[in-house]
Amino acid sequence: MPTLADMDRQKEFVLRTLEERDIRFVRLWFTDVLGYLKSVAIAPAELEGAFEEGIGFDGSAIEGFARVSEADMIARPDPSTFQVLPWTSSGGGHHSARMFCDITMPDGSPSWADSRHVLRRQLSKAGDLGFSCYVHPEIEFFLLKPGENDGTPPVPADNGGYFDQAVHDAAPNFRRHAIEALEQMGISVEFSHHEGAPGQQEIDLRYADALSMADNVMTFRYVVKEVALGEGVRATFMPKPFAEHPGSAMHTHMSLFEGEVNAFHSPEDPLQLSKVAKSFIAGILEHANEISAVTNQWVNSYKRLIHGGEAPTAASWGAANRSALVRVPMYTPRKASSRRVEVRSPDSACNPYLTFAVLLAAGLRGIEKDYVLGPEAEDNVWNLTPEERNAMGYKELPSSLGMALTEMENSELVAEALGEHVFDYFLRNKHAEWENYRSHVTPYELKSYLSL
């Protein structure tokens, strides 16, 4: 945690940068419970007061934040997250910057509905056990040709496939421009390439602590959409926009460190996995169904998590096995610092703060309770029948949002990880979404049944 002296130095740096670079707008960002980015812009002259007192707003107007009777909330900018936005004015100067905010009640206590606070509480629990958590996401999304958001089927911006040097007619330099914009904001990119479906892209962010990475994911989605608009295309993080193509995942690599030492590494183990790592994996497998509604929060998320697709449908683990829920990457088997686990269920439309929080909670529960990790999956789990999976001890993951919500509402672990307010609001909102979807008559049904 930064000291008061560190915070003061960061505030001074922010104020000095605004003046030196003639920044005209400061955008204060925070994230609602469903993972939507919220923003309020203030003039630089108001920022010193915002550092001292915060910016008041009506929490009852934000999804999941407060009841009307407790509506007054304060957004407090975190100076350590200050970055100048990469967009320039007609004269070539940068005209705006952003900072993420922590949300508090008027008395200064943290708002239990603040997504950053939910994750920070879980990281504090990890800290109490002697661990710090690092995350590296592989973020997939689609580039689409311009169109209306009226239910018309989208059209991909290209016809490329996996690792193709695909040429986008409308946006030939999209990935380069997006990466340049991200790196201008201090977000390091490790890899980028065309994914398996037409128009599908993947950009992988370099490892960072879990809170910084959640901030980076929110910034990533904003930057990618802005760059796409500037190049005449649309970017979507919808998990499954095309029935005939794979969906967009956010495969999440995780590791725990004790100081400078990777707690997941053991040189004696054949896979170099420590007992801590094995219990962490066992925790995620044991609680996979309970956390599914958070890692995959939309009705559409479960169109990606289907048998025969390229996404996990059973709680299994394996070394380099991409059909498993948890994979142990083996790219650098002798490099202690890189020993990590990859959770393959989350999609790109999740709330990253809540997703990292429940994944960490499940893994830590495995460590605390000394869960025993079962045998690894050496088969292609996608090709096994449900009966074969059951015989091998692989628990089926929820196949719909409705099933995931049933698992979540009975979960003490998720309730504790999210806090009562977020847990209750999330369930109410998602039950409403599921009921709206269940009552909707789709074109598939009309085509299949209208002549009966």
Domains of the chain by start residue, with CATH: 4-107 (3.10.20.70), 121-448 (3.30.590.10)
Q: Which of 175, 112, 165, 111 is nearest to 143 (CA)?
A: 175
Q: Write the CA distances from 109 to 3, 59, 73, 306, 372, integer angstroms.
A: 18, 15, 10, 43, 39
Cross-strand pairs, 204: 138, 191
Q: Which of 102, 126, 64 is nearest to 420 (CA)?
A: 64
Contacts with 260 (C-beta within 8 Å, 6 or more apart), sequence order? none
Q: Per the annotation, does 244 bind a ligand?
A: no
Q: Per the annotation, does 334 bind a ligand?
A: no
- CA gap 72, 103 in Å, rounded: 11
Q: Per the annotation, does 12 bind a ligand?
A: no
**Three-state DSSP class for 21?**
coil
Q: Per the annotation, does 376 bind a ligand?
A: no
Q: Per the annotation, does 412 bind a ligand?
A: no
Handedness of CA 221, 226, 227, 233 (dihedral sign): positive
Q: Per the annotation, does 116 bind a ligand?
A: no
Within 10 Å of residue 27's Cβ, how many Cβ atoms? 16
Beta strands 317-319; 326-328: pairing state: parallel
Is 150 exposed, middle or buried, given 0-12, 13-18 or 19+ CB atoms closer than 10 A?
exposed
Q: Per the annotation, does 105 bind a ligand?
A: no
Q: Per the annotation, does 202 bind a ligand?
A: yes
Chain CA centroid to CA 392, Å: 31
Q: Per the annotation, does 63 bind a ligand?
A: no
Cβ pair 17, 3 in contact under 8 A: no
Helix axes 288-295, 420-438, angle to 10 degrees: 80
Which residue's entry shows tokens 């309770």? 369
Cross-strand pairs, 73: 57
Q: Per the annotation, does 330 bind a ligand?
A: no
Question: Looking at this protein, which amino acid is placed at residue 69?
Answer: S
The confidence score (pLDDT) of residue 68 equals: 43
pTM of the model: 0.94
Handedness of CA 42, 45, 46, 50 (dihedral sign): positive
Chain CA centroid to CA 418, Å: 15
Q: Per the annotation, does 251 bind a ligand?
A: yes
Q: Per the annotation, does 53 bind a ligand?
A: no
Tokens of 33: 């419970």
Contacts with 253 (C-beta within 8 Å, 6 or more apart), sequence order? 135, 136, 137, 138, 207, 329, 340, 341, 342, 343
Q: Which of 376, 255, 253, 232 is nearest to 315 (CA)?
A: 376
Cross-strand pairs, 262: 257
Query: Phi/psi at 51 (nearest 5 deg)?
Result: -65, -40
The confidence score (pLDDT) of residue 69 equals: 44
- CA gap 442, 47 in Å, rounded: 49
Report the b/e string of 96-124 with b at 16+ CB within 10 A.
Answer: bbbbbbbbbeeeeebbbbbbbbbbbbbbe
- CA gap 436, 320 in Å, rounded: 39
Q: How many residues does the chain have?
A: 452
The confidence score (pLDDT) of residue 112 equals: 84
Q: Per the annotation, does 190 bind a ligand?
A: yes
**Three-state DSSP class for 393?**
coil
Q: Per the annotation, does 52 bind a ligand?
A: no
Helix axes 288-295, 401-409, angle to 10 degrees: 120
The pLDDT averaged over each successive group of 10 residues in the chain (452 residues) is 76 92 92 93 91 84 56 89 86 83 90 93 97 97 89 86 60 85 94 86 95 98 95 95 94 96 93 96 98 98 84 88 86 74 96 98 98 85 71 86 98 97 94 96 93 92
Contacts with 64 (C-beta within 8 Å, 6 or more apart), sequence order? 32, 33, 34, 113, 421, 422, 425, 426, 429
Query: Phi/psi at 282 (nearest 5 deg)?
Result: -60, -35
